[in-house]
Structure 1
Amino acid sequence: MKVLVLSNSAPNYHNFFNAISRRLIEKGVGVGYAVDCPVSLAENKVEELGVQYDVFSEFFAQHELDEEILSAYSHHNLNLALFSDFDRSEEYGIWGRRSDEFFDRLKSALLSFFSQLIDQHGYTAVLYENVSNAFAHFCWIVCQETNVDYVGLTGSRLPGRFCFTSNPFGEHVPIERTRQALEEQRLDVPEAVWGWCREYISNIETTSPDYMAFNNLDNIKIIDRYFRLSKLRKIFRAIRFIGGDHYHSFQRGNPLLYSAGMFLRSLKRRIRLPFVKKYYTAPGDGDFFLYPLHFHPESSTSILSSSYVNEYETIKNIAFNLPEGVRLYVKDHLSAWGYPRLNFYKKLVSLPNVKLLAPFEPTKQLIKQSKGVVTLTSTVGYEALLLKKPVLLFGEVFYQNHPLVTKVGRLPDLFQSLSMMMRQLEETDVDIENYNLQFVAAYYLNTWPGRLNLMLDHKDAEKLADELFPLLWERLLDEPNH
């Protein structure tokens, strides 16, 4: 077994993955690293591990366009695989203007980089989080062609449990397979699991996923977030690389400008907040659908619902296809309110049939009062199903096979889809209460115990690695087929 670990600018993630790597090495596993750029190499302390590592930006700088590899992989949507980092670049101002030649060479370089690493070093598995950016996306594509096991660690919506993912677009497949086995009584489940699932569903109104407590994105205090020793160290480190090759460091660009851009983004958010509040209104009487805004950029939008990442356009399409007498309540995101420009909020509230709600409004209560939820991939959609409310879904997500879910097909069909949602619960011939129990049990059986927080400091990351490594080791030995 040889494991390739991906390492880039994700904050603090290296603490956990480096700890896991040390434990793999102790098991006699060959470990190598694929690093996006020299800044990450230093920041993530890769050299201290004493492992083989390869830096993509250095490879990219020397790479000449390879038309043959682009042709060989052309059955994959390579342009879409770039979208997540394009989305981040637009939000954080990383790239500026880039030519078609840059993008073609970037695609060619990413495919060549990972193909050569796997071929030369014989890696049998890749270790990272779920596919969340172009660096990981292209690696995952190469893994599909070379039969290498992509092992992505990610939190689940179930408290105290996490997932291993190998296909960002197929998380629903093993869950549905397990649920069907439960329905057909082909799978024995301990009573303790059924009891856990019943209690979880009964308490869904007061239960939240672990990630809500981890991400700290609802912290709007500038001094608290940025004027800390760890942030100052990051700035000093960025200064060291100010003269580096920022053009080929496609995920970070100029690290000093990147850090400055992140700070200014948060500062602008803080300044906007008092002005954003004037666009919020309280929920009213009458029928409504609930639409939860997403945080941007993140994999749930730029990977799993990239066609609808412009939420204003999506909401506008919904607003003009609502059944007569029904409103759309757009609820702002607690971790994202104030990040969009004021014009975004101004345009939203100018749409007919749309009300913008503050992020502090009680989500579960709104779900219960609504006629259903309309969402890209939100956890709110999942919670709505457990509260027996229909969901209109735009993206790809683990709950998409639920009988109360309608997947958006053609946008011209929105009116029919929304109208059908008004009577979907009454017309379904499925016992939703029993289905939900089986669905949660199937989800549970495709997760593992542990509160996966990849943003921990070194000390706590070591403790988490001790806890989760036996589960990861078992998963690596399993090596499922692709």
Structure 2
Amino acid sequence: MKICFLLQRRFAYIGHALALILKEKYGVTDFCGYVSLRSGLEFLKSQKDIQYTGLLLDENVHNQYKDEPLDLAYLKELEKNYGLPNLWRYIEMDRTIRHGQLVREYPHDASPYSHEEMMRLMQVKIKAILKFLKEEKPDVIIFSVIADLSALFLYQAAKKFGIKILLIKPSRIQSLHTLTEDYRYYSHVDKTFNELQNGEMALPEHQLLAENFLKNFRAKPSPYSYRDTPAAKPTTRKKQFAFLRPRQAIVSLKWTAQIFTDYFRNKYRQDPYTVKPWHYIIDTIKRKARVFRGFDDLYDEPNFNEYYVFFPLQAEPEMDITLPSQFYTDQNWLIQQVARALPIYFKIYVKEHPAMYGYRPRNFYKKLKKIPNVKLIRPTETGFNLIQNAKIITTLVGTSGWEGMLLKKPVITFGDVFYNKLPMAKKCDNINDLPWLIKEQLENFIYDEKSLVNYITAIYKESADVDLIKIWEMEGGSQTEKHKEQLSALANLIASKLNP
């Protein structure tokens, strides 16, 4: 058996650690990888534990587009075979190609590529991926995320070629992570859930875990990840300017000098995903200027005695918006539609994501404030207070929808998300249906405790306890040896799905 890893950014270190466990514990010897960053490729080439049969670097492929002649006949054929139903979706979800983001800070929105260059980029990347798959012939591809053109096409090509897909996803329960073969839902969880619902299976130990989790959550709601809570983020002007304190100012100056030094020492500094230090400085200054000007004059105080719908803004840029909510990515526009779909006496409470404080311009919020029944709630307000007192939770695909369901609230979503499987959530596929969906959820909502417990039971059965948010996003994968026990649990889960 050969396993291919999509090694997106610093997941290269974690993916390699998983490969090593699968080799040592389960005898898997053949591995290949599609690698995002050059630093990840250099690490994989320098290690001696695993001899990868093939490693394809996305940055190398990307750089070939300048010499690629545009072939419209080839693109038409690709669209016929891999279109969703066209090829634009691959471009639209790639934040770097479409918006110039990741190398520039949100709200930057200017692609460095023309329409023709985007098509040439698509050509070179798709050609390289198809060639890679035909040469390597993997049996399984393990995805960390699907967040750009290359990852989405690799996913679609794997489906076309009959290659098994295992996508690692947070379960939104504590630090549990599950695997799915479809990014739109949790395929393995759903299968177990269906069997539980139909009485074909009983999981008393996992059910007890589910019931205890639900009981404890309702007694004292807490986020599945502390990282994005108001307490963990600098959501005030004071916190944002803490770097100016004498000791921290020295650290900041050293850091700034270091990023310039590292950039000019990097012989591959023209790689497409390399952040130019002057762009980093410019974007940081702009963000701090927005924070200095402040947003306090725009905030409203919540009144928990009035009728309201809660709409939590999601972080941007974020693959949870671009992939599963493809036609609802403009949250400002969407809030306007929700506001006009409500009963006349309802408010809509909009709260900023704690991680986005200072990123969105004032004009974004001022536009919201023009909507008569909108209240803009400050980001320091606890989301659970707003959820518990809301009549409905409306969200693209956010965790607040799941948390609302745990607290027995009706939910309306605007994208593909795992908890759409449960009857308490209604997905809005057509914006013209939104007023009727809201009316139905307000007047005819039926809470189903059995379904919720069975779903959480299925999550416990089909998940591994591994804090990837800490290991990957906070530590950058640099301390995988320290977390070998947790990563072994994830490797065990992967192994259980290799030969079902």
TM-score, scaled relative to structure 2: 0.83
Checking the alignment, whether the CA contact within 8 Å between 1:3 and 1:126 is kept in structure 2 is yes
Does 1:145 pair with 2:165? no
Which residue of the partner structure matches residue 59 of structure 1?
A: 61
Checking the alignment, whether the CA contact within 8 Å between 1:266 and 1:339 is kept in structure 2 is no
Candidates 207, 210, 214, aligned match of 1:194? 207
* Amino acid in structure 1 at the alignment position of 2:462: N
Candidates 131, 155, 158, aligned match of 1:116? 131
Does 1:396 pair with 2:416? yes
- Structure 1 distance, partners of 2:431, 2:393, is 17
Change (3 A) 1:202 1:265: farther
Please list, as runs of the form range in 1=range in 2, the aligned pairs for 1:252-401 lying within 5 A after superposition.
Answer: 252=273, 255-257=274-276, 259-274=277-292, 275-284=294-303, 285-401=305-421
- Structure 1 distance, partners of 2:224, 2:23, is 30
- Deviation for aligned residue 1:77: 4.3
* Amino acid in structure 2 at the alignment position of 1:464: H
Checking the alignment, whether the CA contact within 8 Å between 2:310 and 2:390 is kept in structure 1 is yes
- Structure 1 distance, partners of 2:228, 2:306, is 36
Which residue of the partner structure matches residue 434 of structure 1?
A: 450
- Deviation for aligned residue 1:242: 6.5
Checking the alignment, whether the CA contact within 8 Å between 1:37 and 1:55 is kept in structure 2 is yes
Say which is worse superposed, 319-328 or 128-137, in terms of deviation: 128-137
Query: What do residues 435-474 of structure 1 show as CA deviations (whole Å, max 9, x unaligned)?
Result: 3222221232232222223132556322324432354255
* Amino acid in structure 1 at the alignment position of 2:450: N
Candidates 182, 185, 199, aligned match of 1:185? 199
Query: What do residues 265-287 of structure 1 show as CA deviations (whole Å, max 9, x unaligned)?
Result: 44433332351122111112321
Candidates 428, 431, 435, aligned match of 1:411? 431
* Amino acid in structure 2 at the alignment position of 1:21: A
Checking the alignment, whether the CA contact within 8 Å between 1:70 and 1:107 is kept in structure 2 is no
Does 1:89 pair with 2:100? yes
Checking the alignment, whether the CA contact within 8 Å between 1:390 and 1:424 is kept in structure 2 is no
Checking the alignment, whether the CA contact within 8 Å between 2:464 and 2:489 is kept in structure 1 is no
- Structure 2 distance, partners of 1:70, 1:195, is 48
Query: What do residues 108-128 of structure 1 show as CA deviations (whole Å, max 9, x unaligned)?
Result: 222222211111122222233
- Deviation for aligned residue 1:301: 0.7
* Amino acid in structure 2 at the alignment position of 1:379: T
- Structure 2 distance, partners of 1:348, 1:475, is 44
Checking the alignment, whether the CA contact within 8 Å between 1:39 and 1:241 is kept in structure 2 is no
* Amino acid in structure 2 at the alignment position of 1:424: N
- Structure 1 distance, partners of 2:189, 2:4, is 27
Change (3 A) 1:199 1:348: same
Change (3 A) 1:422 1:201: same
| SS of the residue 1:227 aligns to | helix
Does 1:20 pair with 2:15? no
Say which is worse superposed, 437-446 or 220-229, in terms of deviation: 220-229
Say which is worse superposed, 109-118 or 46-55, in terms of deviation: 46-55
Which residue of the partner structure matches residue 4 of structure 2?
A: 4
Which residue of the partner structure matches residue 141 of structure 2?
A: 126
Does 1:170 pair with 2:161? no
Query: What do residues 271-309 of structure 1 show as CA deviations (whole Å, max 9, x unaligned)?
Result: 323511221111123210000000001111111112111
Change (3 A) 1:263 1:150: farther
- Structure 2 distance, partners of 1:462, 1:154, is 22
Does 1:212 pair with 2:243? no
| SS of the residue 2:419 aligns to | coil
* Amino acid in structure 2 at the alignment position of 1:164: L
Say which is worse superposed, 197-206 or 94-103, in terms of deviation: 94-103
Checking the alignment, whether the CA contact within 8 Å between 1:273 and 1:338 is kept in structure 2 is yes
Checking the alignment, whether the CA contact within 8 Å between 2:22 and 2:495 is kept in structure 1 is no
* Amino acid in structure 1 at the alignment position of 2:464: W
| SS of the residue 1:46 aligns to | helix
- Deviation for aligned residue 1:189: 0.4
User: Sequence identity of aligned pairs in percent?
Assistant: 20
- Structure 1 distance, partners of 2:191, 2:365, is 41
Checking the alignment, whether the CA contact within 8 Å between 2:178 and 2:463 is kept in structure 1 is yes
Change (3 A) 1:197 1:98: same
Checking the alignment, whether the CA contact within 8 Å between 2:369 and 2:375 is kept in structure 1 is yes
Checking the alignment, whether the CA contact within 8 Å between 1:110 and 1:139 is kept in structure 2 is no
Change (3 A) 1:28 1:413: closer
* Amino acid in structure 2 at the alignment position of 1:6: L
Change (3 A) 1:308 1:458: closer
- Deviation for aligned residue 1:181: 1.7
Corresponding residue pairs, total: 464
* Amino acid in structure 2 at the alignment position of 1:398: F
Which residue of the partner structure matches residue 44 of structure 2?
A: 46
- Structure 2 distance, partners of 1:120, 1:94, is 37
Unaligned runs of at least 5 residues, structure 1: none
Change (3 A) 1:23 1:230: farther
- Structure 1 distance, partners of 2:316, 2:353, is 10
Checking the alignment, whether the CA contact within 8 Å between 2:209 and 2:460 is kept in structure 1 is no
